[in-house]
Amino acid sequence: MSKIIALFNQAGGVAKTTLTMNLGYHLSQISPPRKKQNYRVLLIDLDPQATLTNFMGLEPEQLESTIYDAVIDQKKLPIHSDIHGLDLVPASVDLSSAELELVVADMRDLRLKYALEPIQNNYDFILLDCPPSLGILSYIALVASTHVLVPIQTQYKSFLGAELLLSTVTRVRSLPNRHLQIAGFIPSMYDARNTQDERTLNAIQEQLAILAPVYKPIPRSTAFADAAEDKQPLAIFQPKHPAVKILKQIAIALTKLS
């Protein structure tokens, strides 16, 4: 059964897109037990900024079809195949109008869920890169998902926002998706030399670990931006970077989700 994982945080700048691309890549490099083929992974860009689409080497303004067409016009998902071993459903700025159009759309909560149904059995993992908001696009992503994975920057302000984030997850669980599970929390952009980062990391580990696993922190590094500029996952761009091992460990943990 396909695991549909929404990478979600209403705050921007917490590395959602970077983690979507890199965790997707590491998942695609893992071979499941008793199978010769590696896990099949689909990434879906749900952010009108289309950053994931850019990171994966596509030009949003040149695309004939995006996730917008699938969600709003109920067309087939436009899947671009085999980019670093991953498949991608791209986004463009057109998606920015989807928030308004979905307000009056029939069955709006289930639009993404229905769009995924024809293809979800073709993949072992589908990762949804959610926009940095609590709007309808994030909401329909959570409704369509089996799990939510929360990147959380090791800054006090970001940690304070976790309560609002968790209340949104609770609201989704209350009716439209009662089986939604929290896959874990990923502390991101961590600087071990910064005492505030250290304090916030400790708070994340102490207060959120009762809800779901808190994974090892992803270090702050310009290598992620350099890799994205080169349109590559970090493991290809700089295989010996310390974060590569952490990302691989998190990907392995995700393969064990129930």
pLDDT at 151: 97
Q: Residue 144 contacts by C-beta under 8 Å, 6 or more apart in sequence?
A: 4, 6, 110, 112, 113, 116, 128, 177
Q: Provide the residue type at 79 as one letter.
A: I
pLDDT in tens, 36-58: 899 999 999 999 999 999 999 99
Statement: residue 160 has pLDDT above 90: no
Edge-first strand order for the sheet with 147-153 is: 80-83, 86-89, 41-45, 125-129, 3-7, 147-153, 181-188
Q: Which domains does the chain carry?
A: 3-251 (3.40.50.300)
CA max distance for the chain: 51
pLDDT at 228: 97
pLDDT band at 110 (very low <50, low <70, confident <90, very high): very high
pLDDT in tens, 204-245: 999 999 999 999 999 999 999 999 999 999 999 999 999 999
The Cα 162–Cα 159 span in angstroms is: 5
Instruction: Please tell me the pTM assigned to this model.
Output: 0.97
pLDDT at 35: 81
Among 181, 174, 132, 125, smallest CA distance to 152 is for: 132
DSSP element (H, E) containing 86: strand 86-89
Asked if 142 and 58 count as a contact pair (C-beta separation under 8 A), the reply is no
pLDDT at 34: 82
pLDDT at 118: 97
pLDDT at 157: 87
Cβ neighbours around 241 below 10 Å, total: 17
pLDDT in tens, 195-206: 999 999 999 999
- Taking residues 165-177, report their average pLDDT: 94
Statement: residue 33 has pLDDT above 90: no
Question: Considering the chain, what is the average pLDDT of its residues?
Answer: 96
Statement: residue 31 has pLDDT above 90: yes
Statement: residue 158 has pLDDT above 90: no
